[in-house]
Chains A and B, each alone.
Chain A
């Protein structure tokens, strides 16, 4: 079974703090994604990565950065947390080998971040 783990299930941070959210997958997937999920807004893509050290902006990258130094690990960084970044953060991974691309995503359990 694919397993995607996230470093924390719940996190409370203060405004202005630097926040690190880590995600690890054990299926050797090439693609990794960070989403945030808010009531009424659905899943919104923040950043994704299709290879080590590669990253692409999603729909809402402002206020966030990412790092992918190893294939299995994708980190989301909030440089200076703000209250409007209070949300559920979901990491996902998917496979991409050669010309075959799988759109099936495997999600972690999520991190509920509260910024006060």
Chain B
């Protein structure tokens, strides 16, 4: 099972601040997904990145896939309390099982 390391594990910030969370692995991934999970709910898919170096934007969220397709980052600009939640990355390796591997997540709290 490939390991996906997410950092930081916890993040507590004030409304309006910017932040970046990271997802790293030693494996090459054919695709990588980011999910957000609100307390007491299931994860919700935010984005899929496929191409090395790819950048995708979703309003104030910017997702980047590393050139070597081993890592990814999520940057949030001007965080809002509604961004509070657990951010999970999941990757599917090349030539491996079709079951994605999930990272343990970054728990974000944005204080008003």
Contact = CB atoms under 8 A, between A and B. Distances in A.
Interface in B18-43: 30-31, 33, 35, 40-43
Contacts of A107: 35, 42-44
B80 interface: no
Interface residues of B, number: 22
A98 B92 CA distance: 18
B52 interface: no
Interface stretch (B56-64, B71-79, B100-108): B100-108
A11 B40 CA distance: 13
Contacts of A58: 99
Contact of B42 (A45, A104, A108): A108
B42 A42 contact: no
B48 A104 contact: yes
A104 B1 contact: no
Tell me if A's interface is mostly helix, strand, loop or mixed. strand
Given A43-B88, A109-B42, A110-B42, A103 B100 contact: yes
Given A104-B48, A110-B40, 15 more contacts: A40-B104, A41-B104, A42-B103, A42-B104, A58-B99, A92-B42, A96-B98, A103-B30, A103-B33, A103-B98, A104-B45, A107-B35, A108-B42, A110-B41, A110-B42
18 contacts: A4-B42, A41-B104, A42-B102, A42-B104, A48-B99, A90-B43, A103-B30, A103-B48, A103-B90, A103-B98, A103-B100, A104-B33, A104-B45, A107-B35, A108-B42, A109-B41, A110-B40, A110-B42
Interface of B: 1, 30-31, 33, 35, 40-45, 48, 88, 90, 92, 98-100, 102-105
Interface of A: 4, 33, 40-43, 45, 48, 58-59, 90, 92, 96, 101, 103-110, 112
